[in-house]
Amino acid sequence: MTGFARRDGGDEAASWTWEVKSVNGRSLDMRARLPQGYESLDPAVRAAVNAACARGNVQVNLSMKRGDAPLQLQVNEALLQQILDLMADLEKRTKTAPASLDGLLGLRGILEAVEEEESSERQEARLEALQSDLRAVLEALVAMRAAEGARLQELARGHIDEIERLARAARSCAATQPEALRQRLKDLLALLLEENTGVSEDRLAQELAILAGKADVREELDRLAAHVAASRELLAQGGAIGRKLDFLCQEFNREANTLCSKSADVELTRIGLDLKSAIEQLREQVQNIE
């Protein structure tokens, strides 16, 4: 299921932004992009996403910016000592004036701006705030996915209603009625006897009985009705039902294929093809349901 959520946060030393987006997927696939120094959050991110989502491709991004805390200047002692040693050697070999203090400080790399070292308590407080904002942004994502799920549920109900309507039309089709099937087999038996095929009447009766069993689609229609009822129960149940509905779509399709293969009637074949189209439309929506 698709969704997007964003949350900003910060403290006196840093500001941050969580962004979470999800797209459709058959299973849960989570990827996190965390800035340098915050890799320790990865297990917490994965646990939070697993708790919030059961399905979909989820991308979690965290961006950090330094706050307005002042920087401190410090002297690179090692580099300064190298320069002083070099100056002392040059003064022995040449007659030059000694370097001024401001000249030394103006050399690249002598003065460094560094952030004040944070206490472990402040770092832990920031990590807790980051995780709190992560949970909040995931709650917003879940709410957006739930809203989409409600819309998809209505679409799925419509497709299931159409499948039920077509299954009833197939059941009422004259070609599926026992009387019509029996008459067609009687006509076929009379035709075979007239042509004097040399096959005994008992053998013909056995073959026709087998054909009658293969041509009867009432069993497939009964299973379609059962799948319709199961689908509606799942939609009423709610929760993570996407995979179960996906399985039912496979069962729907299997019965529709059998119905078409057994059909010897144009009208029944047309209904079977319409049924397969409705099932495919349901399957496409089911792929988006968690």
Q: For residue range 3-33, what is the model confidence (pLDDT) as tens digits? A: 899 999 988 778 999 999 998 777 788 999 9
For the stretch 195-205, what's the b/e string if a residue is b when 16 or more beta carbons lie within 10 angstroms of its beta carbon? eeeeeeeeeee
pLDDT of residue 69: 58
Contact in structure between 125 and 255 (CB atoms under 8 Å): no
CA–CA dist 177, 216 (Å, integer): 9
Q: How confident is the model at residue 172 (pLDDT cuts 50, 70, 90)?
A: confident
- Domain ranges for the chain: 3-68+131-144, 72-114, 152-286
Digit-coded pLDDT (tens) for 201-253: 666 566 556 565 566 788 889 999 999 999 999 888 877 788 888 889 999 99
CA–CA dist 246, 146 (Å, integer): 19
Find, among 269, 257, 263, 113, the residue nearest to 279 by Cα.
Answer: 257
Residues 6+ apart with CB under 8 A from 196: none
Neighbours of 146 (CB within 10 A): 13
* Alpha helices, DSSP H, located in the chain: 42-52, 77-93, 101-105, 120-172, 178-194, 201-215, 218-237, 242-262, 266-286
Residue 55 DSSP SS3:
coil
Give every strand in the sheet of 28-33, ordered side by side. Answer: 3-10, 14-23, 56-66, 28-33
The domain made up of 3-68+131-144 is a member of CATH 3.30.230: yes
Q: How confident is the model at residue 267 (pLDDT cuts 50, 70, 90)?
A: confident
Residue 114: pLDDT above 70? no
* Higher pLDDT, residue 53 or 60: 60
Domains 3-68+131-144 and 152-286 share a fold: no
Q: Rg (Cα) of the chain, in Å, rounded? A: 37
Contact in structure between 217 and 176 (CB atoms under 8 Å): yes
The residue behind tokens 């007659």 is 95
The sign of the dihedral angle between the CA atoms of 16, 51, 230, 253 is positive
Share of the chain above pLDDT 90, in %: 33
If you average pLDDT over residues 142-170, what whole number do you get? 89
Residues 6+ apart with CB under 8 A from 145: 1, 2, 3, 22, 53, 56, 290
CA–CA dist 212, 182 (Å, integer): 8
CATH topology of domain 152-286: Butyryl-CoA Dehydrogenase, subunit A; domain 3 (1.20.140)
Q: What are all long-range contacts of 43-46, with beta carbons under 8 Å and residues at least 24 apart? A: 44/131, 44/134, 45/134
pLDDT of residue 20: 95
Residues 6+ apart with CB under 8 A from 54: 28, 240, 242, 290
The sign of the dihedral angle between the CA atoms of 160, 163, 167, 168 is positive
